[in-house]
Amino acid sequence: MHPSHKEAGMGGRWSNSMELLKASWTVLRQHSSLLAFPIVSALITIVMLAVLIIPAYFLTGASKGHVDNQALFYVFFFIFYFISSFVVIFFNTGLVACAQECLKGNDPGFGYGMGVAASHIGKIAGWAAITATVGLVLKMIRERAGIFGAIVGSIIGIAWSLITFFVIPVLVFQDLGVIESIKESAGIFRRTWGENMIARFSLGLFFFLLGLIGLVPILLIIALHTPVFVVGMVAISIIYWTGLAILAMSLNGILSVALYDYAVTGQVPPPYNAQTIAHAFQPKPAKAGLFSNK
């Protein structure tokens, strides 16, 4: 292990994580066209939600104040989760493809990313189906096992999101199948687990704190007792939170490509710092198991 890895404490890891996020922000500023992918993804997802939520609201009995057709509710949930996952993954694939070109010094257009995503549409559908299935199972665990289920479901959900962090880059750049991409992503995660977790937690915490600002308009409504401004204030909060989600998705995609490139090629893409990105990797002894490379 490199000596600098041994010397890096928790403070150093947080510092490294923030440097990685700053570098990702630099890439996004230089190639703001990358924002088009999460924007279009968000718009399509909102439309799909509107299309599905109306029939689900009436057919499941939710319009009466409670769901009286649990099975149909889960069917709608899975359909929406699958479609929304497919849309998000499809545009994330385009984002990741363009992000890698940006890190190479090129300036790809939106069409380039869409072309790459379209060429992997079958695998994207397969990954979306797995994502929707996992999401449905976790929802059932949370709902049917009380507080314990909520805790267990959350832990499993976090672990799943971490080990599948590199699925899209692997699927696109190594052209592997969905299951092989999950295994390879888990393998890369084992080598980057410290910085991977801290960087993602740092990003999540950063945007969570920024998200709290979106509560200000709503709190003003409560404090000033001015219901006449309710619609406007709530709209401001929703627009603000949507913007943050778009920004977070873009930075997340860029960061995943940078870490993936270094993990696979050993090359440090600019503007990332070689020493900083190297701290993200701590090789561990190989262990036999589900995601073992052996």
Q: Domain ranges for the chain, please list them.
A: 15-278
* Type of residue found at 38: P
The answer on pLDDT for 2 being more than 50 is no
Distance, CA of 245 to CA of 42 (rounded, Å): 9
- The CA distances from residue 285 to 179, 250, 294, in Å, are 23, 33, 12
φ, ψ for residue 166, nearest 5 deg = -100, 10
Provide the CB-side half-sphere exposure for 84 (13 A, CA). Answer: 20
Query: How much is the pLDDT for 64?
Result: 63
Confidence of residue 227 (pLDDT cuts 50, 70, 90): low
User: Could you tell me which residues come within 8 angstroms of residue 160 by beta carbon, excluding any fewer than 6 positions away?
Assistant: 134, 138
Average pLDDT across the chain, whole number: 80
Look up residue 203 and give its two tokens: 């990003």
- The CA distances from residue 33 to 118, 145, 246, 264, in Å, are 19, 44, 12, 26
Task: Please report where in the chains the tokens 């979106």 appear, as a residue.
Answer: 214
Mean pLDDT in residue range 44-65: 73
Q: What is the dihedral of CA 140, 144, 145, 149, to 10 degrees?
A: 30
5 in helix, strand or coil? helix
Cβ count within 10 A of residue 262: 20
Look up residue 272 and give its two tokens: 């990332």
Mean pLDDT in residue range 22-48: 91
Distance, CA of 1 to CA of 64 (rounded, Å): 61
Confidence of residue 280 (pLDDT cuts 50, 70, 90): low
Nearest to 5 by CA among 191, 204, 271, 264: 191
Lowest mean pLDDT: which of 86-100, 185-199, 205-219, 251-265?
185-199
Mean pLDDT in residue range 61-76: 68
Q: Model-level pTM?
A: 0.78
* Dihedral of alpha carbons 206, 156, 130, 59, sign: negative
The model's pLDDT over 163-195, given as tens digits with 9 standing for 90+, comes to: 898 999 999 999 899 999 999 998 888 776 665
